[in-house]
Amino acid sequence: MKKKIAFLFPGQGSQVVGMGLDLYQEYDFVRQIFDTVDEVSKAHISKLCFKGPMEELTLTVNLQPAMTAVNLACLAALEKEGIQPDVTAGHSLGEYSALRATGVVSPEDTCRLVFKRGHLMHREATKHEGAMHAIIGLNIDEVREIVEEARKEGVVAVANHNTAEQIVITGAPDAVKSASEMAKARGAKAIPLRVSGAWHSELIRGAEDDFRAFLAEIPFNTPKLPVLFNVTAASESDPNEIKEIMARQLCSPVRWYDSVCRMQEDEIVVFGEVGPKKVLTGLLRKIIPDTYEYEVYNVDGMKGLEAFLRAIT
């Protein structure tokens, strides 16, 4: 029986200088992807991917199209080899690559969406100073309880439910710091993250209506296969509902833990992290129990692609 495959697409935080270069040198269709991103963004995103500097690459207005270009390059190489997943998911920004993988949006429109999203998020981050901390060692109910208490200090919320006990909080710096101190008092670790805004919080709510209006202009198709969405940890087939989910995604928690649990229920046994680094692979290893047999591969360039193909074909 064919093993069921999931393609997982990373988001912000997985960037590395040099990403995508070997695929760019190997394939004409990858060069076309990078040309499209450069054209849509009116910037040398490809040069930032290949040569940096890291500080400029990491700016959200550059990073969102850059990460997406590399994810789409890795995906295109898999598609060339005829590899199709049974389900897809993407972590925050990575969700746009998952939409492309299932035929919901074209490559060009994927680039337009992430470019617009990056600009709107940057706009709101310049208006509202924000912070994000990873809380390690408490479950989601405990973190929600702390967040509720810390709201007396200002805006604070759960941003990412990454694993059972790795949860990112987001919001105004003082409120996030207060929540972190409460978490540490309960024995948890609190790790500040290097971010330029309070992603997935009310502090970027100002971007939501503008992004929803932009989404309305982009043609969305019915997915050819399931996407597990961050907002719901479930699939959706109606294109208009998908647009609404993607608008809500800006300020809603990323339910990654629930999505991976759902994949186990659906008996996915091969996970391909399609894009740079191994952030999602690390989360998988913390979520999936030792009793569940599975394989995970990193399709982040030519070597990763070849290893994945050898393993599954």
Active site residue ranges: 92, 200
My answer on whether omega of the bond before 53 falls inside 30° of 0, hence cis, is yes
Angle (CA) 8 247 140, round 5°: 60
Q: Which residue has the tokens 């692979």?
A: 281
Interacting residues of 111 by C-beta distance below 8 A, sequence separation 6+: 36, 37, 40, 41, 65, 68, 69
Give CA–CA dist 188/170, Å, rounded. Answer: 16
User: Using an 8 Å Cβ cutoff, are 46 and 69 in contact?
Assistant: yes
